[in-house]
Structures are given as C-alpha cells and as structure tokens.
Amino acid sequence: MRIVHIANFYGPRSGGIRTAMHAMAGQYLKHGHEPVLVVPGEHDSVSHVDGVRLITVAAPRAPFSGGYRVVVRPRKVRRLLEALEPDRLEVSDRTTLTGIGDWASAEGVPSLAMLHERVDGVLRSWVPGHGPDGRIAALGAATAPRFADRYNLATLPKFDRLVATTEFAAGEVERLRRRSRSAALPPLVRVPLGVDLEMFRPDRYDDDFREQYAPPGTTLIVTASRISQEKRVDLAVDAAAQVMRDGRPVRLVVAGAGPLLPKVRDRAAAAGLPHKFLSFVPDRVRLATLLSCADVVVAPGPIETFGLAALEALASGTPVVCSATSALPEIVGPAGAAAAPEPATLALALHDVLDRDPVARRAAARGRAELFPWTATGEAMLALHDKPSSPAAASLTDTPAGGVVMAGSRP
C-alpha cells in the first residue's frame, strides 16, 4: 500500500507530530509498504529521510506559533494527492487540512484523522487570562466545549475513521457522540503511540555527564518541552522553586525552545532557582543521556493528549511528574505521579517521587515504557488500514498498551 500522511504544525527539527509521523512511516516501510509524508515548509521540495519520501509544501508561518507553518492552499495538496494516488490517507491536522477528507471520500480512498490535540483544550489554553483570572477561565471552560463540538461536528465526519492516542484525546469526540446522538460520526479507535526503546534507555546514565548540570547531592529536575503557551513550562519552574524552598537542593534543566523562553528563564532567575535552559537539543543521544541522568522529569502541560517526551523519560529510567488534567496519567501510570496543574500540588508530587527508592523508581519507569514499543503502534495502524471502516465490520483487540482498542476502554 502507498500510505500518505499529511500534517500541519510539523516541526522542522522536533515535535510530537514529526516524531510520530516518521516513526509510523518507518514501521510501514519495514512491513513492505510505501509511506509518503506531506508537510508544510519554507519551499516546495522532495527529499528522503531514512528511506521515506518527504514532500514539503511551501506554507507561511502561523502567527503566534513560534515558527510552525500551516498550509493555506489546500487545493495544492489535493492536486499533489491526485498525482500520488494513495491507497490510504492519514491526516494529522484539525485546521486547514480537514477538507482533505472530502477529497478522499470522492476518490474512494480510505482516510483517517489522527487526533493529536483536543480542540476544546487548545481553545482553553488561549483564553485571555486563563488560569490566574478565575472568572475568565471559567468563561473559557464553559464556551470552549460548545465551540469544539460545533467545529468537530463540521469536520470530523469528513473522514472514514478517527484515531486517538489516549482516552483523554478521545474524550471530546465521545462527549460529542453523547450530546449529538444522531450525529454521523466516524468510528473512533485508540492507538497509543510508542517510544524508541533503543535510543532512550537507563544505561545511558553517566556520572560525569550529570555533574555538568547538577553537583553531587543536588536533585536534578528536567523538563523537555517546547516553551509555549499551552505547555505551561512556568509551572515546572514554580514547582521546582517550591521544592527548593522546602529545603531540598535542586537544579532545574529545561531542554526546549519556544516563544516564551526568555520570560520563563527570567521567572526562574527571579525565584532564585538554580537553573539552566539548553534551548533545543538537536543531538538525540545527548538528550537521551540528560533524561537518563535526571532524578525526575516534570511534564506540566495541562492539555497534553499523549506526551512523547514524558514517555522518552520513562524509557530512560526516569519517573515523571505530570498534570492530572492531561492524558499523561494514562501513560505514566505508577511510574511517577500526577497532580493538579498548580505549583504547590506539583511540588508535593515531586517530593513523593523523589522520596521513593531510586533503584525501584528507575525500574518502574523503564518497565512502564516497555509497554509502548513503536512496533505495536505500526502493527495496530496497519491492522486498521486492512479493515473496513464500518464499526460492525471491525474486530478490535483489547491490549494493555500499544494495541488497538475501542475508545473508552482502559489500558
């Protein structure tokens, strides 16, 4: 099969959508299929990455996105798809590319939409004054679901299938199905993403490397995240500062770039928190080594629908403290702790994890990550592509993690 995957918000160097697209394409290639990736970029171009054809479509930068590009001429993508003649189509976008589902339907090409984000969550994260101003935040919490329902009802039925990576990601579709019982929504299935268990592993731990970032006797807290509005890296800074004030020597290291980097760095300095901001780390081995050397990783994003960076930390043998309002508790499980996205509660969760036996917590983290190999994701996606789109015709397997399950069942 020729499986074409198109996306917006594809980071030129990193990012969850980029990682997932290339990992799934690699799995398709290993199974003898032909994956093709179509993404926005500065110029039109064609290249090959690890044997996978990567087609870049010229697209402008999206305002306030920190550099992400978005296709504004979907007709150009349709013409490209006509030339590619895909056997299957995957779309990772909830904005300008949703209409591609109509093209696939007209051409008889089975299609699916990957739900990498929740529309209601994105809306709430951008409500002016969200968080500190309770009144405005409450207004956003009330209006975002209604707007998301209308938008999803207009866009999601364009596809034959919907794929969510977690129960949290599937939540707004399940809500819409309950509220609009007559809505012709496509079948919704859950396929967890995976992690590179060879790149990210506990034995990368190195004392000399660790001492570059934290002196002996100091707790090394790491956050690996894009520094943007929705990621709430400020919560990691404030939580680490509270742990410091509680009397535990700490040093916070942040790996990631983004539009809010200067502001968040100033916040750490104002709190008197020992810190180091590395910006984007292009060397994957260096990043994997940093994660393995950390005592704990903080993933504070309150609307994360999966959390690949957190899973990479677990694979590195490092427990994760995450926001209880996100999908991450589903991924982290007992190999870390979840708390409300507030500095005080996250700080308590950090103390909880750090008080656990170091050997046991590292073993638990790695064991949890081993439930999520990319091989299982690839096999699950190929099983979907081989099945008809009718809910009655699909026979889905309930698995602990990494397999295909009906949305709403628990891993």
Mean pLDDT of the chain: 89
Strand pairing report for 405-406 and 188-190? antiparallel
Burial class (CB in 10 A: 0-12, 13-18, 19+), 15: middle
Bridge partners of 55, per DSSP, are: 38, 46
CB count within 10 Å of CB 185 equals 16
Domain count of the chain? 2
At residue 132, does pLDDT exceed 50? Answer: no
In a domain, 394, yes or no: yes
Residue showing tokens 């180091």: 276
Question: For residue 411, is it within any domain?
Answer: no
- What is the distance between the alpha carbons of residues 79 and 345, in angstroms, rounded to a whole number? 51
Q: Same domain for 181 and 167?
A: yes
User: Kindly report the CA angle at 69 between 63 and 75, in degrees rounded to 5?
Assistant: 110
Q: What is the pLDDT of residue 403?
A: 45
190 and 214 share one domain: no
Residue 316 domain flag = yes
Claim to verify: residue 333 and residue 189 sit in the same structural domain: no
Residue 394 has pLDDT above 60, yes or no: no
- Looking at residue 50, the DSSP 8-state letter turns out to be T
Q: Are 364 and 382 within one domain? A: no
| Shared-domain flag, residues 221 and 310 | yes
Q: pLDDT digits over 22-41, tens only? A: 999 999 999 999 999 999 99
Q: Which domain holds residue 254?
A: 202-369
Tens of pLDDT, residues 176-209: 988 876 568 999 999 999 999 999 999 999 999 9
Would you say the C-alpha torsion 217, 251, 296, 373 has a positive or negative sign? Answer: negative
% the chain with pLDDT above 70: 89
Q: Are residues 224 and 307 in the same domain?
A: yes
Joined tokens for residue 57? 């479509």
Confidence of residue 407 (pLDDT cuts 50, 70, 90): very low
Q: Do residue 68 and residue 150 come from a single domain?
A: yes
- DSSP run (H or E) holding 53: strand 52-58
CATH number at residue 126: 3.40.50.2000
Domain match, 379 and 360 both: no
Q: Are 86 and 109 in contact (CB under 8 A)?
A: yes
Cα(399)–Cα(401) distance, integer angstroms: 6
CA 39 to chain centre: 17
Q: What's at 166, amino acid-wise?
A: T
Q: What does the alpha-carbon distance between residue 147 and residue 128 come to, in Å, rounded to a whole number?
A: 16
